[in-house]
Amino acid sequence: MNPEITVGSLAVAKRSSSVCNAGEVGVCYEVYELGKRPGYSFIFESGRYDGFSPEDVALFLDVTGRVCKAVEGYAFENVGKLSMDFRSGRFAAAFPVQAGRA
């Protein structure tokens, strides 16, 4: 069973998908409910993002149990702002290797 997922939770992609590459780090930026089921939105170090059901999380992600404190208080508004926040470095602390390449 995966650890509890909250905003700021870090995960590593177990396999490639249209949103992430195997081994890519992602950080949860939103926890939501859809049809009385939990959902989790992750943005990856490449800047790609998507929502994951609990089944998708089990299939695609290895949730590390660590939380990025710099992202923990993030309040998702819309995908336009999310993209702008990513480009401005709002999630850089979740991707230290990526930040070090700048």
Count: domains in the chain: 1
By residue range, what is the domain housing residue 27?
9-93
59 inside domain: yes
30: β partners? 41
37 inside domain: yes
48 inside domain: yes
| 36-46 pLDDT per residue, tens | 999 999 999 99
16 inside domain: yes
99 inside domain: no
pTM recorded for the entire structure: 0.90
63 inside domain: yes
102 inside domain: no
Q: Residue 31: exposed, middle, or buried by beta-carbon count in 10 A (0-12, 13-18, 19+)? A: middle
26 inside domain: yes
| 46-80 pLDDT per residue, tens | 999 999 999 999 999 999 999 999 999 999 999 99
CA–CA separation, 45 and 43 (whole Å):
7
Please, which residues have CB within 8 angstroms of residue 65's CB and are 6 or more apart in sequence?
3
